Structure 1
Amino acid sequence: MYAARVCKDCGADCVFFCETCGKDLCSVHKGVHMVDLDNANHFVILYRERNGYFIKDEYCEKHPELACKLWCDSCDEPFCDECWKEKKKDHEKHAMMEVFEAYKKYKEEFKPKIAQLRSEVLPYNRAILAGIEPDIPECEAQIAELKEKMRDKAERLKKYIDKCVKKKCPKRLKRLENKIIGQLNQQCIDLQEHIDYLRELVYRYEHSANKPAEFLLFLKDHPLDKVPDIPESCKELPEMTFNTEVTKEDVLKLLGEITVEETGIRKPEYRFTLERLRVVKYLGTVPVTGVKSACHMSCKSATEFWISDKVNLVLIDQTGKKLSDVKDKLDKECGVHAVTKDGDLIYIDKKSNIRKLLKDKKDKPSTLINSKESWETLSVFCSFESDDILVGMIIHNINRAMVVRYSSDGKEKHFIECEHYTTPLFVTENHNQDVVVSNHDRNSSSVVVTNGGGEYRFSFNGPPKEPGFKPRSICVDGLSNILVYDDNSKSIVMIDVDGHYLEIFQVQQNLIQSPRCVSYSIDNHTVFVYSSSNSHVVVSRHINRQEYLGKPTIDPDADKKKKKKN
């Protein structure tokens, strides 16, 4: 007898097999397996394909009794033997192969794409779908708010119209009346003067016989052929009308337009994608060479990170191998380097300039931002959301500090000055665009957070009942929690996006001994903590993707249900 293969997670019928870890999986747990960040690079196949393929004959539409055996790779068309005889001349110079060989070729070619669809695209689309659902009541709430605003505006318009009709309209009409009556009175004056003038002309003409010379001189000054019949000012009473019609369009114009701004393509929100694990998961340890007592790290990828002490700055891979280094780094124990979305290194040099080293390291570092006069540059961070560059700087003699935001090409956008920090040793940005500063102060050090516009949000002064908080290296995780190294308690403190204390970050068996700095890889949501006791970096994960993201895309029992109906 043969033993049936069952899923290792639930005991259901085995349908899939993971080629990477050798695990038997049912339809449900295949999805769960694929969304687990530990299995991001695993490849799952149908179990029946594990030991080869069982090929069914696929018959030609034109010749139903014949199976399609050939494939034209140039035309993307299958052929049975009869079709090939008929069309052979048209395809002699085309790339021909057996159908199954073509299948294997393209299945292997698209294997990475399918892996990406399984592990990334499908889960992210489900997360986006989860984000759309709460937008429906949010939309309804916004529409209700717009209705209330329109009602309020309509009431104010009504009051203003009543006020205008009662006070302003009568005044306006009175001014119009006075103006027109004034014009009519002026017409009377002008016309009377014109009549007197005409009478004078007639009189001179009638009494001119005995004084011909005088009459001729009069005509010279008053040519009769140019005398107007009536004065120009004598016009008819103007016709005054008022449009009494009111249309819907008139009312809508008064109420104003409703503007709808396009906001771009949706992105999955981490709250619908990720969740905290109950226990921090240990992933491995990386030996570090080239630095002593490191104080800052920047993850270039899930497998490489830049790490620095006061003097040195080196790039390390997951095996501990030193890949590169930078010689002109600023000699300070603060956040002097960061990594861009593209994997390029941004760092502060010895002259307080911000320099950029491309990830391929083919070119020498180039100066991206020149130092500000009188200002000392202390820290730098590159936003993963916008690719903007945040730079923390101070002027010692006047005790002034600020964080300046630059575009990715080094153009200054704006600066943030906050009275709550004096020395921004480390700076980072949260997913909601909050600017998070690890501030050093002789009297009271703290984590200071402002929003993207520079408005103060909160300060975190350390875990409860633990005085002497000294924040140093700082980063944020995928759920917008803030991880900060406390040099007083020699531990990694975790707080949430609003500054509430969560816990001391620790891996099982206390694998993190004497931590000195912390960093986070957004690529696979792993935490890197440098341990000064053995000069190793401990890699762990406290976040994973939510299991619902891996639910089957189709009902695994759909075919069985159809057969039962039939």
Structure 2
Amino acid sequence: MCEFDVDTKTETGKIVRYNIKRDLEQTILDDDTGHYMFCCPHYLTENTNRDVVVSDNHAVVVANYRGKHRFSYKGPSSESGIEPRGICTDVLSRILVCDLITHSIQIIDKDGQFLSCLEHPKIYRPYCLCYDLNTHLLWVGSLHSNKVVVYRYITRQLDLKDSTKTCYKDYYFEVPAFPRESEIGFTGSSEEDEWEADLDHWKREEERLKKKKPLNKKEKTQHEYNTFKKTKKKMNKGRLKYIDNMDD
């Protein structure tokens, strides 16, 4: 929740928690010094250790479950800064946040230490993301784009024992046919048979579409004529149905 003070022309934010009965249970507003903890919160999530993780203006602000301020992450260095948007956590309690400045996904640990970042040429102004606990896939959506990039940066269950290890492969694949009005990019490596089967299927489909010959002039004319006949037939059916309804 964000509030704007007309007199001082300043923004302040607070996090409120409601129970299932819509009763107010908690309000997270200021830190131990009495200063406001948030300026303009955009997105928030709850970590596996019950920390409340918020993407605020130029900072990722984290408070514990009691509402006490733990730390504020303002980028890997004081000079670089950060403009956070979408935010989530993984099974290792690591925090993953979209950064509009570096056009990447920054990864920090549960105590606010920078670990690494995920970058790809197809990602520009990442705005939202989601982590799948079952498949360990990270889905990333960019601003003003119809592409979804999928990372697999935890490849084995053994990686879960090492919270500093980040395993992902620079691999990008675009699905040309499904869904029809969007493109989905896959970045990462997988051990699941179903995942590999899906990728193989779309690779074969992409090759088939590339080998498909375009229609020549005669075939194109015939195709357009057949399409016109079908459209006209549908229009006539609709007109006759309309006239029958008028007669009734």
Task: Please give the TM-score of this superposition, normalised by the length of structure 1.
Answer: 0.25
CA–CA separation in structure 1 for the residues paired with 2:152 and 2:79: 26
Q: Partner residue of 2:39?
A: 422
Counterpart AA for 2:4: H
Q: Partner residue of 2:229?
A: none
1:497 and 2:107 are equivalent in the alignment:
no
CA–CA separation in structure 1 for the residues paired with 2:111 and 2:16: 22
Counterpart AA for 1:420: M
Q: How many residues align?
A: 150
In the alignment, is the contact (CA less than 8 A) between 1:490 and 1:516 conserved in 2?
no
Q: 1:396 to 1:535 in 2, by over 3 A?
A: same
SS in 2 for 1:469: coil
CA–CA separation in structure 1 for the residues paired with 2:122 and 2:46: 25
CA RMSD of aligned residues (A): 2.3
1:467 and 2:80 are equivalent in the alignment:
yes
Answer with 1 or 2: which has the greater Rg. 1
Counterpart AA for 2:66: G
Q: Partner residue of 1:521?
A: 132
Structure having the higher strand fraction is 2
> How far is 1:473 from its partner?
1.1
Q: 1:511 to 1:523 in 2, by over 3 A?
A: farther
In the alignment, is the contact (CA less than 8 A) between 1:513 and 1:533 conserved in 2?
no
1:394 and 2:2 are equivalent in the alignment:
yes
CA–CA separation in structure 1 for the residues paired with 2:158 and 2:106: 27
1:456 and 2:69 are equivalent in the alignment:
yes
CA–CA separation in structure 2 for the residues paired with 1:540 and 1:401: 32
Q: Partner residue of 2:23?
A: 411
CA–CA separation in structure 2 for the residues paired with 1:402 and 1:464: 26
The structure with higher relative contact order (CA 8 Å, sep 6+) is 1
Structure 2, gaps ≥5 residues long: 31-35, 161-248
CA–CA separation in structure 1 for the residues paired with 2:91 and 2:38: 25
SS in 2 for 1:480: coil
Matched-pair identity in %: 39
CA–CA separation in structure 2 for the residues paired with 1:548 and 1:482: 16
CA–CA separation in structure 2 for the residues paired with 1:528 and 1:425: 19
Runs of 4 or more above 4 Å deviation:
none
Q: Partner residue of 2:153?
A: 542
CA–CA separation in structure 1 for the residues paired with 2:4 and 2:158: 51
Task: Please give the TM-score of this superposition, normalised by the length of structure 2.
Answer: 0.55
Counterpart AA for 2:40: T
In the alignment, is the contact (CA less than 8 A) between 2:99 and 2:105 conserved in 1?
yes
In the alignment, is the contact (CA less than 8 A) between 1:511 and 1:538 conserved in 2?
no
Q: 1:504 to 1:538 in 2, by over 3 A?
A: same
> How far is 1:409 from its partner?
3.5
Q: Partner residue of 1:484?
A: 97
Q: Partner residue of 2:49?
A: 432
